[in-house]
Amino acid sequence: MSNEVSIFGDQTNVVPMGDRRPSKLGQSLVYRATSRRIQTSINGTFKRLVNGEQIGAAVRSSMEFIIVDLLPNVSRVYYREKFDPNKEATLPNCWSNLGDKPENNAPDAQHSNCATCPMNVKGSGENGGKACRYQRRIAVLIAGDPTGEVYQFNIPAKSLFGKGTDNTHPFEQYVKFLLANGESPDTVVTKVFYDDNADTMELLFSPRRTLSDAEYQLVVAAQAQAETSNYTKITVAQADGVTRAPAKTEAPAPVPKVVRSAYPDDEVAPVAAEPTKRMSKKDTTPKPVVDLSAVIDIWGEADA
């Protein structure tokens, strides 16, 4: 008789676990219990977070990843309140995985269409920028990690667009560079590092080498897991297990009606006062007061 502990009441025709593959449902539930991501920071470090808690020491300046999944379009995310590390984390007010419309589970959707959303207008955010930010959420393996554990990696807007030099680029141009040279994000080891020449925190991407056979097998296994695709779709807060909803956005006050004119720079024309009629000298002569009582008496006598 086997010494293995079983959870089943009926042991008839039980298939040994070693002969079965983990189900997609089981994988997705494991993912919900344990989430992993790589966090960047303004001090130039990378930190591994598991369920929102840092694991191990931070890595400074650069890391090497294997990108195993990403969405076809850039995502968007909107927080009404400015980030404050001293406040309890909340979910975003609104976000869109494909950058076209809010997700169904966004607690404070701002508009039905991202292209015409008021949070997607210059000046709606700080320093004249847009309140709704671009963002990339990609699933990666850490190069040299034989466990094959998948991590979410979030690429901020300032690291997405622009042109690089040689084989070093912001992310969107980096992907195009790989494809133009017969490679793909999941066929190379990518070096991610901080741009020392940037005024703000910006990341650059560069290919280091092609994959080894062992790394290729890890990529294939990772791409078969449900969590890998999920990491490209959930926000940072969701990855860290945050469930607290944000404060709802207040409805904007009605805009007062403005009188426009042909003044330079479309200035607001002053509203003219009601015209005042000038009185002539003749008009200033007081009119005599007529005693109507005598007239009424006359009318009374005529009717008698």
Which residues, including other chains, have CB under 8 Å from residue 236's CB and lie 6 or more apart?
37, 137, 152, 154
Average pLDDT over residues 17-28: 54
Q: Rounded to an integer, what distance in angstroms lies between the CA atom of residue 202 and that of residue 225?
A: 30
pLDDT band at 264 (very low <50, low <70, confident <90, very high): very low
Q: 81-117 pLDDT, tens per residue?
A: 887 777 888 888 999 999 999 989 888 899 999 999 9
Pairwise pLDDT comparison (282 vs 47), residue with the higher score: 47
Beta bridge partners of 168: 165
Q: 216-255 pLDDT, tens per residue?
A: 999 999 999 998 999 999 888 888 778 788 888 765 555 4
Q: Rounded to an integer, what distance in angstroms lies between the CA atom of residue 240 and that of residue 263?
A: 54
Q: Rounded to an integer, what distance in angstroms lies between the CA atom of residue 131 and that of residue 125?
A: 4
Q: 109-144 pLDDT, tens per residue?
A: 999 999 999 999 998 988 888 999 999 999 999 999
Task: Report if residue 93 sits inside a domain.
Answer: yes
| Exposure string over 140-164, b if 16+ CB within 10 A, otherwise e | bbbbeeeebbbbbbbbbbbbbeeeb
Pairwise pLDDT comparison (131 vs 10), residue with the higher score: 131
Task: Report if residue 264 sits inside a domain.
Answer: no
pLDDT above 70 as % of the chain: 71
Average pLDDT of the chain is 79
Average pLDDT over residues 286-298: 47
Q: Rounded to an integer, what distance in angstroms lies between the CA atom of residue 52 and that of residue 118?
A: 32
Q: 34-76 pLDDT, tens per residue?
A: 889 999 998 899 999 998 899 999 999 999 999 999 999 999 9
pLDDT band at 278 (very low <50, low <70, confident <90, very high): low
Output the DSSP codes for 232-298: TTS-HHHHTT--PPPPPPPPPPPPPP--B-SSGGGPBPPPPPPPPPPPPTTTTSPPPPP-HHHHHHH
Q: Which residues constitute the domain of residue 131?
A: 21-239
Question: Quick one: DSSP state of residue 175?
Answer: H
pLDDT band at 194 (very low <50, low <70, confident <90, very high): very high
Task: Report if residue 289 sits inside a domain.
Answer: no
Task: Report if residue 267 sits inside a domain.
Answer: no
Task: Report if residue 216 sits inside a domain.
Answer: yes
Whose CA is closest to 132, among 155, 111, 153? 111
Q: Rounded to an integer, what distance in angstroms lies between the CA atom of residue 66 and that of residue 254?
A: 50
Q: Domain tally for the chain?
A: 1
Which regions of 75-115 does DSSP assign to beta strands (E)? 75-78, 94-96
pLDDT at 240: 78
pLDDT at 4: 39
Q: Which two tokens stand for residue 239?
A: 């990855």
